[in-house]
């Protein structure tokens, strides 16, 4: 438990809690609430050999791979759905063997996090038998139910070294409010050794009480305020996802040279996140925050 | 006279695999299934419980279907959104009646591969991954399989290179032998035809689209499949179904699943059973 009353740090300090070789869990999922500013900062700091675990993700994982920061990918999905397709860097790294693919299943990951939260040595799942998933996971075993005799697959606890979670608001203690879907974030917080949070805005605790706390601050080791810290993913209720930027990334990531170009142009920039936001442009960012003005405005962001 | 395109008819046929009062779920990256669920809810299945993909929102009324499955527009109007674990717990304990499943490969028993084509160590194509399907395909009561890529000849294959989601039987045994509580694939809707599964769990052709021949289906399929005694033409959509579909998917998100040449298939409403 992390009990310091004030855990506010800057982004670079927060990122320093993640070490080479760590198992990390990235919050959010698909196009929502991905901790992109922290992902960019880890790349800036040259982090290597990370092992990422989680459910369905997209640009957060792909960008870590494109920048050479990832060694093991244990997500249930990495991609840009039907809209923008397969994840280019993930696909290339998996096909050329430069990362270890330990693809998993949402239920399995959830069950493993629950085992960690409960301090248990394993939990069973009913699925997996008959599929090829165990070829990717020699660590799974079988167990026989002492009551029914049913044979189930036993999976070990998953205890990430650091969970990296982005939320719209939080307080100095690290209490976090977020909108649904929470995805696995609550379980990441409970199962991980540490949580590093980024938020759009740090607010007084009384203000946070009014909105409700989803992740309690006692799980959180450090909190950094980073506006547009999920961009180009969404961070509702503040902003929608930036489909055009995601598309730019997917096109760039299609080839190693242009993927390097994206990292050089958008990530490894001297001014860090300030310069990133400047490059995206105040007008573009403002447009993403205007989703709630009308249905046409909202729909127009995706046309 | 109103005309309609193949993608519209296809999604409406998918919608018709849903019965009223079912609890139904689609995964992410599944626009055809997603639109189909909203069509069913607004036409023949008003009392279904629609669980919206990656939002886990119950019976939402989205103003449009966005190109990503976890945008907040997809929970608008929902009185409740499940937590991630509430949905997956419901699915594994058997409280979900139907899920839509697709794959880069689908075999004769309805096993699907969304993990990797080619050797696992050095795949020819690394697919995105299966989300929660590996576990919940074992326990959800019925699966509707769909593919819009049957014609490629690479999708409906004798054996999957990797089994991510479970069909009726795998080399490890049948669903009964594996203690699986769900019923497995009930049907496969492809852009060439509609199939069910016989008592041995093998795919069997039941319906053809009017512009597709049995020979074309055979050419595109990697194994010999059974054919029903009487193969019928897929029933045309009603005007009411088309109207609902066009309201719910104004951005045409469903079209992203099709090869562009399938978009050239157009039909008119003559003979539609309105």
What's residue B268's pLDDT? 84
Nearest to A82 among B31, B55, B126 (CB): B31
Residue with the bigger pLDDT between B268 and B180: it is B180
How far apart CA B198 and CA A145 sit, in angstroms, is 32
How far apart CA B51 and CA B134 sit, in angstroms, is 19
For A239-258, letters b (16+ CB in 10 Å) and e give: bbbbbebbeebbebbeeeee
Inter-chain contact A95–B85, Cβ cutoff 8 Å? no
Q: Is the pLDDT of residue B273 over 70?
A: no
Inter-chain contact A105–B131, Cβ cutoff 8 Å? yes
Please, which pLDDT band fits residue A298 given cuts at 50, 70 and 90? very high
Q: Is the pLDDT of residue A290 over 60?
A: yes
What's residue A136's pLDDT? 98
Inter-chain contact B92–A95, Cβ cutoff 8 Å? no
Closest-CA distance, B80 to chain A, in angstroms, reads 10
Contact status of A108 with chain B (Cβ, < 8 Å): yes
Contacts of B75 in chain A (CB under 8 A): 180
Inter-chain contact B136–A77, Cβ cutoff 8 Å? no
Contacts of B25 in chain A (CB under 8 A): none
Contact status of A148 with chain B (Cβ, < 8 Å): no
Inter-chain contact B68–A241, Cβ cutoff 8 Å? yes
Q: For the domain made up of B1-82+238-258, give the CATH fold.
A: Glutaconate Coenzyme A-transferase (3.40.1080)
Q: What is the arithmetic mean of pLDDT over A205-213?
A: 94
Considering the domain A11-103+159-296 in this protein, what is its CATH number? 3.40.1080.10
Query: Could you tell me how many CB contacts below 8 A there are between chain A and chain B?
Result: 198
Q: What is the arithmetic mean of pLDDT over A85-105?
A: 98
The ipTM value here is 0.97
Nearest to B71 among A87, A106, A234 (CB): A234
Give start-end residues of each CATH 3.40.1080.10 domain in chain A.
11-103+159-296
Q: What is the arithmetic mean of pLDDT over A285-293?
A: 97
Measuring CA to CA, which residue among B262, B248, B256 is closest to residue B42?
A: B248
Please, which pLDDT band fits residue A303 given cuts at 50, 70 and 90? confident
Note the pLDDT tens digit of each residue in A130-157.
Answer: 999 999 999 999 999 999 999 999 999 9
How far apart CA A249 and CA A243 sit, in angstroms, is 10
Note the pLDDT tens digit of each residue in B109-147.
Answer: 999 999 999 999 999 999 999 999 999 999 999 999 999
Contacts of B69 in chain A (CB under 8 A): 30, 81
Contacts of B95 in chain A (CB under 8 A): none
What's residue B274's pLDDT? 36
Q: What is the arithmetic mean of pLDDT over B74-91?
A: 98
Inter-chain contact A299–B250, Cβ cutoff 8 Å? yes
How far apart CA B183 and CA B142 sit, in angstroms, is 5
Inter-chain contact A82–B30, Cβ cutoff 8 Å? yes
Inter-chain contact B164–A29, Cβ cutoff 8 Å? no
Inter-chain contact B131–A77, Cβ cutoff 8 Å? yes
Note the pLDDT tens digit of each residue in B182-239.
Answer: 999 999 999 999 999 999 999 999 999 999 999 999 999 999 999 999 999 999 999 9
Q: Is the pLDDT of residue A271 over 80?
A: yes
Average pLDDT, chain A: 97
Q: Is the pLDDT of residue B272 over 60?
A: no
Please, which pLDDT band fits residue A5 given cuts at 50, 70 and 90? very high
Inter-chain contact A105–B166, Cβ cutoff 8 Å? no
Q: What is the arithmetic mean of pLDDT over B70-80?
A: 97
Q: Is the pLDDT of residue B47 over 50?
A: yes
Contacts of A78 in chain B (CB under 8 A): 128-129
Question: Any residues with CB less than 8 A from the CB of A175 and at least 6 apart, and which?
Answer: A205, A208, A213, A215, A216, A217, A220
Q: What is the arithmetic mean of pLDDT over A89-110?
A: 98
- Are B106 and B147 within 8 A, CB to CB? yes
- Are A195 and A162 within 8 A, CB to CB? yes
Neighbours of A276 (CB within 10 A): 19
Nearest to B251 among A110, A136, A299 (CB): A299
Contact status of A133 with chain B (Cβ, < 8 Å): yes
**Best A82, A135, A190, A232 residue to mutate vs chain B (most B CBs within 10 Å):** A82
Q: Is the pLDDT of residue B154 over 60?
A: yes
Closest-CA distance, A123 to chain B, in angstroms, reads 14
Per DSSP bridges, beta strands B226-233 and B23-26 are unpaired
The helix or strand, by DSSP H or E, that contains position B246, with its residue range, turns out to be helix B239-248
Q: HEC string of chain A?
A: CCCCCCCECCHHHHHCCCCCCCEEEECCECCECCCHHHHHHHHHCCCCCEEEEEEEECHHHHHHHHCCCEEEEEEEEEEEHHHHEECHHHHHHHHHCCCEECCCCHHHHHHHHHHHHHCCCCEEECCCCCCCHHHCCCCCEEEECCCCCCEEEEECCCCCCEEEEEEEEECCCCCEECCCCCCCHHHHHHHCCCEEEEEEEECCHHHHHHHCCCECHHHEEEEEECCCCCCCCEECCCECCCHHHHHHHHHHHCCHHHHHHHHHHHHCCCCHHHHHHHHHCHHHHHHHHHHHHCHHHHHHCCC
What's residue B270's pLDDT? 58
What's residue B271's pLDDT? 44
Q: Is the pLDDT of residue A11 over 70?
A: yes
Measuring CA to CA, which residue among A155, A132, A127, A157 is closest to residue A142?
A: A155
Contacts of B123 in chain A (CB under 8 A): 94-95
Please, which pLDDT band fits residue A203 given cuts at 50, 70 and 90? very high
Closest-CA distance, A261 to chain B, in angstroms, reads 23
- Are B90 and B83 within 8 A, CB to CB? no
Contacts of B31 in chain A (CB under 8 A): 82
């Amino acid at each position: 438990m992390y009990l310091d009353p004030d855990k506010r740090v800057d982004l670079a300090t927060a990122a320093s809690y993640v070490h080479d070789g760590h198992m990390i869990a990235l919050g959010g999922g698909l196009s929502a609430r991905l901790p992109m500013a922290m992902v960019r900062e880890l790349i800036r700091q040259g982090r290597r050999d990370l092992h990422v675990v989680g459910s369905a993700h997209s640009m957060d994982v792909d960008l870590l791979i494109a920048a050479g920061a990832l060694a093991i990918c244990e997500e249930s999905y990495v991609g840009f759905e039907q809209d923008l397709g397969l994840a280019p860097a993930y696909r290339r790294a998996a096909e050329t063997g430069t990362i270890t693919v330990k693809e998993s299943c949402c239920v399995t990951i959830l069950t493993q996090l629950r085992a960690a939260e409960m301090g248990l040595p394993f939990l069973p799942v009913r699925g997996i038998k008959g599929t090829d998933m165990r070829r990717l996971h020699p660590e799974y075993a079988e167990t026989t139910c002492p009551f029914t005799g049913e044979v189930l697959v036993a999976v070990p606890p998953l205890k990430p070294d650091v969970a990296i979670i982005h939320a719209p608001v939080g307080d100095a203690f690290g209490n976090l409010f977020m909108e649904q879907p929470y995805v696995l974030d609550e379980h990441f917080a409970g199962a991980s050794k540490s949580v590093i949070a980024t938020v759009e805005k740090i607010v007084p605790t009384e203000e946070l009480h009014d909105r409700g706390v989803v992740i309690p601050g006692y799980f959180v080791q450090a909190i950094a305020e980073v506006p547009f810290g999920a961009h180009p993913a969404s961070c509702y209720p503040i902003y929608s996802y930036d489909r055009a930027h995601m598309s730019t990334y997917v096109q760039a990531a299609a080839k190693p040279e242009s993927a390097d170009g994206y990292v050089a142009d958008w990530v490894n920039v001297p001014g860090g996140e300030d310069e990133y936001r400047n490059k995206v442009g105040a007008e573009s960012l403002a447009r993403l925050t205007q989703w709630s003005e009308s249905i046409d405005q909202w729909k127009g962001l995706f046309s | 006279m109103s005309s309609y395109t193949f993608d519209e008819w296809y999604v409406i046929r998918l919608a018709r695999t849903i019965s009223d009062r079912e609890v139904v779920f689609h995964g992410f990256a599944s626009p055809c299934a997603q639109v189909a669920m909203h069509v069913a809810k607004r036409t023949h299945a008003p009392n279904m419980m629609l669980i919206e993909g990656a939002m886990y929102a119950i019976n939402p009324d989205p103003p449009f279907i966005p190109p990503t499955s976890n945008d907040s527009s997809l929970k608008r109007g929902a009185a409740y959104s499940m937590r991630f674990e509430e949905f997956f717990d419901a699915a594994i304990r058997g409280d979900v009646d139907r899920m839509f499943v697709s794959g880069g490969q689908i075999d004769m028993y309805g096993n699907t591969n969304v993990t990797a084509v080619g050797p696992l160590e050095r795949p020819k194509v690394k697919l995105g991954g299966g989300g929660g399907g590996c576990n919940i395909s074992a326990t959800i009561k019925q699966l509707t399989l769909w593919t819009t890529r049957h014609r490629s000849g690479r999708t409906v294959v004798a054996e999957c290179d990797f089994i991510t989601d479970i069909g009726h039987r795998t080399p490890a045994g049948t669903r009964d032998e594996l203690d699986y509580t769900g019923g497995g694939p009930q049907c496969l809707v492809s852009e060439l035809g509609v199939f069910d599964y016989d008592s041995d769990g093998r795919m069997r052709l039941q319906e053809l689209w009017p512009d597709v021949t049995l020979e074309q289906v055979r050419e595109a399929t990697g194994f010999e499949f059974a054919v029903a005694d009487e193969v019928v033409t897929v029933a045309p959509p009603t005007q009411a179904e088309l109207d609902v579909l066009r309201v719910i998917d104004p951005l045409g998100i469903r079209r992203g699943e099709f090869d562009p040449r399938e978009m050239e298939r157009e039909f008119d409403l003559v003979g539609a059973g309105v």
